Structure 1
Amino acid sequence: MAKRRKLIAPSAEDLSRIEEEFRRETTVDSSGIFGSAPIAQVVAETASELDPRSAADRERSARDRNEAEAFRDLTDRGLVMAEIPLAEIDADSLVRDRVILDPEEMQELQMSIAANGLRLPIEVYPLDSATGGPKYGLLSGYRRFRAMQTLYELTGRPEHSRIRAVRRDAATIGGSFAAMVEENEVRANLSHFERGRIAVIASQQGAFGSVEAAVEALFPVASKGKRSKIRSFALIFEELGDMLKYPEQLKERDGLKVASALRVGGESKLRAALEHGQPQSAAQEAESMLRVIDGLDLADKTGARGGRPKKPGEAKPQTVRETRQLPNGISLQSQPDKDGWSILISGQGVNEDAIDDIMEELSALLTKG
């Protein structure tokens, strides 16, 4: 016979112990209700991690995610082209470095765009559109923008109401000016006056501390001689810009003479000549200024002294103190005269730009003492 076991009701302590073990093996949600057992939790977590999609679908989803991240990165770096309505672009947010647009060249550009479309995008940068104005400012591509604008006004075709553009993030206004100048230096050769003008305007608008700093930053690859000429034409723009009718056609040599006259105090006479002369062409305008320059006291510019003129053959022969022959074939000779010292530079490769560079170096050296 099977042995009978005597059943004994659990005590209060036994019930407490059993309940405590049960609590340790189960979870309680925020509402105080017991949740599932541990094995049920494991099954639920495993099921949630399973992806019911096929391998091809998972691969396609991963590729889409990677491409979206790459596109977002390219957009942030300003490497994505977009079609932007012309009305959303302010072409005059920056003062342009180009003074005039040649009508014939603009007509050719319009015909090319009408026939073949816009080959190169413009560059824009975001504006503060809180006031409800245009969203973008034009950074580069002024001629292309104006050509597309004219085409839309003439034809009214929808394809001419938008323009392909690359969005740039111009960190500083100086960067905007530099980017604009850089494009025009490559695509359309600027005159010295236009270069000087944009340097002055960039300085006046606070992009750079001075005209000299603007020239250095806007034209970093130009030779020292070329930057010296740009500074001379910047002076012309500052002193005579409001009087000149044909400044962009002022020849380099004539412009340097005008700048020299301005440096010795000829501004008032030059302004009077321009005001009363009423020139009708660039040649007449330059001639009126050169007449004034010829009438200025040249002693300040040439260092000439008064006194009895020397007779022919009276000049004292100069003695060469030192001659240096450089490896590149250039010869340097120093010699004293009654006014000081002179250095004769000769040889193949010595030209106007080289002399301008040498003058800049000498000026910097002598200024430092």
Structure 2
Amino acid sequence: MARRRKLEAPSSADLSKLEEEFRSETSGAGSGRGLAPIAQVAADSAALSQPSSPEDRTRLAHLERREADLKGAETEGRLLVDLPVGDIDADAMVRDRSVIDADEMLELRLSIAANGLRLPIEVYELPETGEARVARYGLVSGYRRLMAVRELLGLTEDDRYKTIRSIIRPAADADAAFVAMVEENEVRSELSQFERGRIAVLASQQGAFLNVEDAVNKLYATGSKAKRSKVRSFALIFEELGDMLEFPDALSERRGLKLAQALRHGGEVILREALAERSVASGEEEGALIDTVIASMDAPKPDPKKGGRPKSRKHVSGWQNAETLVTSSGITIRRQTDSEGYLLRFEGSNVDSDLMDSLVEEIRALLEKS
């Protein structure tokens, strides 16, 4: 039969030892230990459960909204910053304005010196190429403003001209950047027809658009069909004669359209030869030379089978009858009627799609006024 084990009560020394060990493991008094895990979790939960005051919650929500607004403005290109003028590449894009008037630049410099820069420029961050670069940003709009501030810095060495107020636009495709530049200049300063055609050609050559047609349609998408047709005509002039013309911006719209028509009919060689052989001193003199060459191209060619001098074509301008009008340029306009209304018929060698687009636009404007 098994013997029962006799239990003995712990001595006071044993109790003191157990109490000391328990106290050292739980309270950490005098031992350098932290709270037990369960005690730490309870303390943290209690701290987090303490409700903040309404003022603190309102202030925190306000700061979060401000941070979100600031980040959104930066992402969407609505944030104004002061950038060093040396960090901006003014020629990152081909500019649509080929000539800057010296008097206008002087007036702009004086205005900035007196009143500061009233309107910021627009830039975009240039992509990393892995090579050392001076400029971090490419200019979208504000070319003259940037040039004026740089000139003021060179003249005065004033610290206030070392930076320029700017808007950093989001990284955009090349075609969108060109459209932004053209839109600004269309609003702020009247471009010549030649400048419009020039930027369409250069933008397509840089790969921003598929071709000149695509460039014109996207750069001047808000313009009328007649306007885009005129821009295409001057784009052709820039492509064929841009290196020969001394005063291209002096080309009037009417003269330019005639010149484009002559180029479409194969007149490039004779026009280039004429411009190369004769120097001109003004835009009007160059225009008169172009008119002479075009007139010689339109002149009737002699028939070798016939002797003598060829008969010249003559026309009498004015109303020929109640339905027929002949203009001084040789275009015949015939007015006809049918069961549905009136018809206008235009005849003559000078009639082309560009002229018809312009006529339709003029008729539309006339009818909308009435």
TM-score band, normalised by shorter chain: 0.7 to 0.9
Q: CA deviation at 1:62?
A: 3.6
Q: What does 1:25-104 correspond to in 2, within 5 Å?
A: 36=36, 38=38, 40=39, 43-50=42-49, 56-104=55-103
**How far off its partner does 1:297 sit?**
3.8
Aligned to 2:208: 207
5+ residue gaps, structure 1, are: 1-5, 10-34, 301-305, 343-350, 359-369
- Number of the residue aligned with 1:179: 180
Cα deviation, residue 194, structure 1 = 0.4
Q: Which stretch shows the higher mean deviation, 47-56 or 108-117? A: 47-56
- Superposed CA deviations along residues 268-313 of structure 1, whole A, max 9, x for unmatched, are 111111111111111111111111111004569xxxxx9998999x
Q: Which of 330, 338, 345 is the matching residue for 1:323?
A: 338
Among the aligned pairs, what percent are the same residue? 46
Q: Answer whether contact 2:85 2:163 (CA < 8 A) is retained.
A: yes
CA contact (8 A) 1:270 1:292 kept: yes
Distance 2:227 2:344 in 1: 26
Alpha-carbon distance, 1:352 to partner: 7.4
Q: Compute the displacement of 1:221 (Å).
A: 1.2
In structure 2, the CA distance between the partners of 1:77 and 1:299, relative to structure 1 (3 Å rule), is: farther
Q: Following superposition of structure 1 onto structure 2, how do residues 126-205 of structure 1 map, counting pairs within 5 Å?
A: 126-129=125-128, 130=130, 131-205=132-206
| Contact 2:201–2:215 (Cα < 8 Å) also in 1 | yes
Is the 8 Å Cα contact of residues 110 and 151 (structure 1) preserved in structure 2?
Answer: yes
Provide the residue aligned with 2:360 in structure 1.
Answer: 355
Deviation of 1:44 after TM superposition, in Å, equals: 2.3
Q: Measure how far apart 1:249 and its partner are.
A: 1.4
Counterpart amino acid of residue 332 in structure 1: L
Do the aligned residues in 2 keep the contact of 1:325 with 1:332 (CA within 8 Å)?
A: no
Q: Residues 242-281 of structure 1: matches in 2 within 5 Å?
A: 242-281=243-282
Give the superposition deviation at 1:323.
2.8
User: Distance in 2 between the 1:324 and 1:139 partners?
Assistant: 55
User: Counterparts of 2:261 and 2:199 in 1: how far apart (Å)?
Assistant: 20
Partners of 2:124 and 2:315 in 1: CA distance? 68
> What's the TM-score, normalizing by structure 1?
0.73
Deviation at 1:65, TM superposition (A): 2.9
Q: C-alpha separation between the residues in 2 aligned to 1:59 and 1:151?
A: 47
3-state SS of paired residue (1:171): coil
Write the distance in 2 (CA, Å) between the matches of 1:235 and 1:61.
61
**Distance across 2 between alignment mates of 1:309 and 1:250:** 28
For residue 165 of structure 1, what is the amino acid of its counterpart?
S
Two-structure CA RMSD over aligned residues (Å): 3.6
The correspondence of residues 287-366 of structure 1 with structure 2, limited to 5 A, is: 287-298=288-299, 322-323=337-338, 331-333=342-344, 353-355=358-360
| Rounded Cα–Cα distance in structure 1 between residues aligned with 2:161 and 2:335 | 71
Relative distance call for 1:311 and 1:199 in structure 2 (3 A) is closer
Instruction: Number of aligned residue pairs: give it.
Output: 307
Residue 114 of structure 1 aligns with which residue? 113
Q: Determine the C-alpha separation between the residues in 1 that align with 2:345 and 2:209.
A: 40
Query: 1:199 & 1:69 partners in 2: Cα distance?
Result: 39
| Aligned-partner Cα distance in 2 for 1:310–1:115 | 63
Contact 2:86 2:134 in 1 (8 A): no
State yes or no: 1:240 paired with 2:256.
Answer: no
1:333 Cα shift? 4.8
Residue 48 of structure 1, CA deviation: 4.0
SS in 1 for 2:110: helix
Moved more, 89-98 or 49-58: 49-58
Please tell me the residue identity of whatever aligns with 1:90. D
Partner of 1:12: none
How far off is 1:170 after superposition? 4.1
TM-score under structure 2 length normalisation: 0.73
2: distance between equivalents of 1:239 and 1:132?
36
Superposed displacement of residue 227, structure 1: 0.8
Query: 1:195: Cα distance to partner?
Result: 0.4
Distance in 2, matches of 1:311 and 1:292, equals 21
**Cα gap change, 1:69 to 1:311, in 2 (>3 Å):** closer
